[in-house]
Amino acid sequence: MRRLSLPSRQRLFPLTIVIALILCSTLSAKSGDTSPIGERTLMLATTTSVDATGLLNVLADAFKKDTGITLKWIAVGTGAALKQARDGNADVVIVHAKKLEDEFLRDGFGVNRRVIARNFFMIVGPDDDPARAAGSASTAEALGRIKSSGAPFVSRGDKSGTHTRELDLWALAGGKPETAYLETGQGMAETLRVAAERRGYTLTDTATFYGLPGLSGLKSVYENAPELENIYSVIAVNPARVPTARYGEAMAFIAFLTSPRGQKLIGEFKGKGRRPLFEPLAATPGVKGRAFGSPLARGLYPRASTAEMDPRAEPGAPAAVDLVK
């Protein structure tokens, strides 16, 4: 066997390092984690409204500053966000469809659901309101007028939280229209643009409608009804069901969102005309599954008062893994 001379070894050493780095990069890419070594990251699957409005950018910057954890996210409808979590592609979700959330918890994929904020759904349509939906006494009446008029109704059609609520509301009006009913399969921003182009109606959330720049040709025709309340929740992915889930980082994010600091950022975030887009709800009594100051923040964020704090997960969810020893 030929021994390498010292100069030969010196020439080979840099090549060895290059090969090792390529192998490490390949393994990292295959594992799905492209973060720098040592960086703490958290993958969030979220409903589109908190992303489209820009709120997530504000929250991510503050969360990184407080914890050193880099928040990454994919913005899709609630149904798709929960599927991402089931498939092991997310560590935590922000969603707004209680029926889908309950199923996610019952199936054991989610733990520690906490309510963080709300806004409201609203029906918007052309400026001249050809269906005369404005002035209706109920959401069912407003939708009934739209259906009877034959005016286009543009649906997201994507199994999102908004789409789920829309179908529930159509059921109150005797079912969705058989004609002039369009499904975009897209997010809220694109669906609003299609509705404006088609001079149609659609169901949207107030945050996206008032926070989306450059939108014109649509106005609110019906809002402020109890059945239009839109509650946002955050849920950690259960590491017992998805072993790759970063539960510690997920619970730090939940603690941040439900802390006074996180809630202040949510409440002070504004859209067009300096209009607040989300109402913080973490400490509001009487909201089912409401969020409370998490005891899992290791003292990073202040806890809620004893009267407000409830460490239990949403009924039907698996027991939480307590990180505090």
279-294 confidence digits (pLDDT tens): 999 988 656 543 323 3
Query: How far, in Å, are 66, 118, 132, 309 from residue 129 at the CA level?
Result: 47, 27, 5, 46
Residue indicated by tokens 């039907």: 316
Model confidence at 59: pLDDT above 90: yes
Angle of CA points 81, 83, 89, to nearest 5°: 80
Span of 64-73, 204-213, 304-313 with lowest mean pLDDT: 304-313
Model confidence at 126, pLDDT cuts 50, 70, 90, reads: very high
pLDDT at res. 311:
32
> Which of 222, 190, 207 minimizes the C-alpha distance to 125?
222
Show Cβ contacts of residue 234 under 8 Å, excluding neighbours closer than 6 positions: 92, 93, 94, 113, 114, 116, 253, 254, 257, 258, 291
Per-chain mean pLDDT for the chain: 82
Q: What percent of the chain has pLDDT over 70?
A: 76
Cα separation of the two ends of the chain: 58
> Which of 141, 96, 102 minimizes the C-alpha distance to 118?
96
Centroid of chain to Cα 266: 13
**Beta strand 202-205 pairing with 110-126:** antiparallel
pLDDT at res. 47:
93
Q: What is the mean pLDDT of residues 9-28?
A: 41
- Per-residue pLDDT tens digits for 291-323: 323 323 333 444 332 223 333 344 333 443 333
Q: Is 240 exposed, middle or buried, given 0-12, 13-18 or 19+ CB atoms closer than 10 A? A: middle
Cβ atoms of residues 222 and 134 within 8 Å: yes
Distance between CA atoms of residues 272 and 38, nearest Å: 39
User: What is the reported pTM?
Assistant: 0.77
